[in-house]
Amino acid sequence: MTTPAAAPKRAAARGRKGHGKFVAACLLPALALFALFMIWPTINVFRMSFYQWSGFSPEARFVGLDNFTKLLDDDQFIRAFQNTVALLVVVTVVTMGMGLFLAAVMTREKLRGRNLYRFVLYIPNVLSVVVIAAIFSAIYDQQNGLLNGTLRLLSADGLQQVWLGNQKIVLWSVAIAMVWQSLGYYMVLYMSSMSSIPEELYEASSLDGATGSRQFFTITLPLIWQNLRTSLTFFIMSAVNLSFVLVRAMTGGGPDGSSEVLLSYMYKQAYTNSSYGYGMAIGVVIFAFSFLVSLLVSRATKREPLQF
């Protein structure tokens, strides 16, 4: 015999079961698309890295680890790897450092037209990366570019360069475009975090004689550390993709492979040189490299969160 108290419990159980089915129905399409377009292609990259295949022939020949051992003797791959590491280090340090500095200035200093500055600096993040590549390609143009034109105007003809054709500076020319594209986004992100810090903390430290720089390192930076840590990991991951698009659109990896990065070299091997299996082996290296860097950054920046 059912007691009156048991009826509400059964109704609650049916409600939870119905809610679970509704949530599952909502998540199923997204999970199916994620599995189809993310998980399966990733598995296929790992699988095809063990095969020799042109990408067009009907048959693929299993070669085991030969594609990976070949990478160790590939000077162009090693150069692309070195370029990728150099870009990640330089662009990350410059972007994060300038983003923090500008965010602190915009938040703490009484600047007239602060919203205008924020808007102008954020614009590059709204633009397509291909548009940014076109803008900087025009700026770096040897004959009619803004940069060389400005140097001629200042009678500094000796400083003019073939900015995208000089092996020594082409990679850093691309790095400047990467910083310009990313800087505004991270500045606004850090401004949002800094604006939530209570003003009383700064007032108390000012009474104790703390300077602006000391306040930044003892109050601001520790209190936004978790935000900084998360954004640093995501930036490193996105910078790998961003470097590919800019290199592909601005230099094509040239001159003579001096601006080649891992993703652009993978693309050439897989889709231009008809070495699909070899290209997928490079893709596995990129996956492992990105995962390892993210793990190291997460471990290196781990600390107890501060609360206020």
SS (H, E, C) 233-279: HHHHHHHHHHHHHHHHHHCCCCCCCCCCCHHHHHHHHHHHCCCHHHH
- Tokens at residue 14, please? 């049916």
Asked whether residue 164 is domain-assigned, the answer is: no
Q: 85-105: per-residue pLDDT in tens?
A: 999 999 999 999 999 999 998
Domain hosting 91: range is 66-128+174-300
In this structure, are 98 and 209 located in the same domain? yes
Asked whether residue 285 is domain-assigned, the answer is: yes
Which is more confident, 102 or 58?
102
**Calpha distance 178→172 (Å, rounded):** 10
Asked whether residue 210 is domain-assigned, the answer is: yes
Q: How far apart are the first and last CA of the chain?
A: 56
* Residue 56: DSSP 8-state: S
Residue 1 pLDDT: 47
Residue 58 pLDDT class (50, 70, 90 cuts): confident
Contact at 8 Å (CB) between 181 and 124? yes
In this structure, are 123 and 2 located in the same domain? no
Q: Alpha carbon of 182 to those of 83, 133, 185, 242, 307: distances in Å?
A: 19, 13, 6, 10, 28
**Calpha distance 109→129 (Å, rounded):** 32
State the total domains in the chain. 2
In this structure, are 3 and 124 located in the same domain? no
In this structure, are 1 and 90 located in the same domain? no
Phi-psi region of 191 (alpha: psi -120 to 50; beta: other; left: phi over 0): alpha
Residue 108 pLDDT: 77
Residue 279 pLDDT: 92
